[in-house]
Structure 1
């Protein structure tokens, strides 16, 4: 069933249709929230639950049902950003997937070390820079969507992203 059909049915009160949307996009929303928040204590799960509840309450307001995925991700990002603003110190951003790898062991080890270093660098970014960096570089969100999700202006988002990128590039220079 298409996203648009599921949105229409959900807006009419069909909880099963909404459940399909959440099962379809929930794991991705969780990964997105986890990257914003940092991995660790389950806050991403809580952010996604809050996002799902808010989405259910506002599903009848979706302007473009074909883009419900972006709408859900924006809500999840907002919930994650709310949590990020409320807490200190920050959780570890690193997430390593220990899937089998066909590359030579030395390449796998080097790649994992590089990912750990990138995670450490991103985790050390100020909250606002980390949030916009993750939303853009990991989530692929456009500037306007990041601005809307964070409540910042588009020029501010561009500036924060530029500073974050510069810092990441400078600190990852040894890995080139």
Structure 2
């Protein structure tokens, strides 16, 4: 009987079907094929998240690429490989926030092009753009810590614990910041209800 050899293609298919804990563990051990699986698996989500944080700027791909470079370097230090998804999202968040801070204090809402639905009327498009501009203005009026918490929770879907860990503040502080941010936004957006 001959020995059975696993081809590179069979191995790649096997690792692609494995759960995050196995894939991240292999990648942490320096397996570039396993890391490529993580890149394929999470790039779309990381791009969407970065796009929301950066208001659809051209920096999205750069932020995601920077996040993966950082992930590759820091992956051996990841304590729980099963949490690689939230870990990658935190890195993406950090990179996007760093990019925003470096660029300028305020994003230009007028530069954001919203795709028009074929069924939407021009007046609805104007109303929708005005609502987005009002939300953007409301967010820009929030203190930075409240805005970061709100974006990470409402757009990024991060848990209170993930936000607390990312911003290095107590969970109770996250709850308070989010409560104040939500209250301020509700007051400022009352006319858009």
Q: Establish whether residue 137 from structure 1 lines up as the match of residue 181 from structure 2.
A: no
Distance 1:97 1:64 in 2: 39
Structure 2 counterparts to residues 25-174 of structure 1, below 5 A:
25-42=42-59, 44-92=60-108, 97-98=114-115, 100=117, 105=121, 110-174=127-191
2:150–2:181 CA contact under 8 A, matched in 1:
yes
1:142/1:148 CA distance change after superposition, 3 Å: same
What TM-score, normalized by structure 2, do the two folds share?
Answer: 0.74
Which residues of structure 2 form unaligned runs of 5+? 1-16
Distance 1:113 1:101 in 2: 19
Structure showing greater radius of gyration is 2
1:91-119 deviations in Å (ceiling 9; x for gaps)? 246866526465x5365654454334223
Higher RCO, 1 or 2 (CA under 8 Å, sep at least 6)? 1
Residue 88 (structure 1) shift: 3.3
1:37–1:93 CA contact under 8 A, matched in 2:
no
2:116–2:125 CA contact under 8 A, matched in 1:
no
What TM-score, normalized by structure 1, do the two folds share?
Answer: 0.80
Count of aligned positions: 174
1:156/1:10 CA distance change after superposition, 3 Å: same
